Amino acid sequence: MASRPERCALVLRYESQRRELAVGLDTTLLDVRILAAHLFELALPTSSKELPWDLTYEDNEGDEVHLTNDMELQEAFTMPSLTIAVHMKRNLLEATINEHVLPAVQSSLATVADWFTQLSHDTPETTSVPRRRDRAESETESESDDEL
């Protein structure tokens, strides 16, 4: 008679949502990722690239542990009470652009816009632009013109 795999009480948490379930100790990290994606309607990658979210839990010493492989998950199953948190990864490039680059560009654009507004309100001084001489009036015509 085959023995039934042992089970572990697992809590998955994402933002304010919380799901409690029992999983077998033979559950893989991929299984947990698929469960989290299904329960919280998160995107799974279409290729082998990284997920846009992480799975973490707090160990007995209070350290946050990132689950990256099945061995770490098996270690997590030894916890008396296991809560795995789902965190959206922060896109560093997007965050840098939004926090630093865009505000600088926007303030520069505002400065340029103010400058153009000021220019349009200023009355230009009347200065005479020197008239350009026509070629026929030139005092220094080349001799090659006479040869034609």
**pLDDT at residue 2 in the model:** 57
**pLDDT at residue 99 in the model:** 72
Cβ-contact 65, 57 below 8 angstroms: yes
CATH second-level architecture of 7-92? Answer: Roll (3.10)
How many CB atoms within 10 Å of residue 32?
Answer: 20
State the DSSP string of 82-96. EEEEEEEPP-HHHHH
**pLDDT at residue 56 in the model:** 96
CA distance 15 to 36: 12
- pLDDT means over runs of 10, the chain (148 residues): 72 96 93 94 75 90 94 93 90 67 76 78 62 63 58
**pLDDT at residue 94 in the model:** 66
The token duo for 12 is: 């998955």
**pLDDT at residue 73 in the model:** 96
The token duo for 138 is: 């030139």
pTM of structure: 0.57
How many CB atoms within 10 Å of residue 7?
Answer: 14
H-run or E-run covering 22: strand 17-24
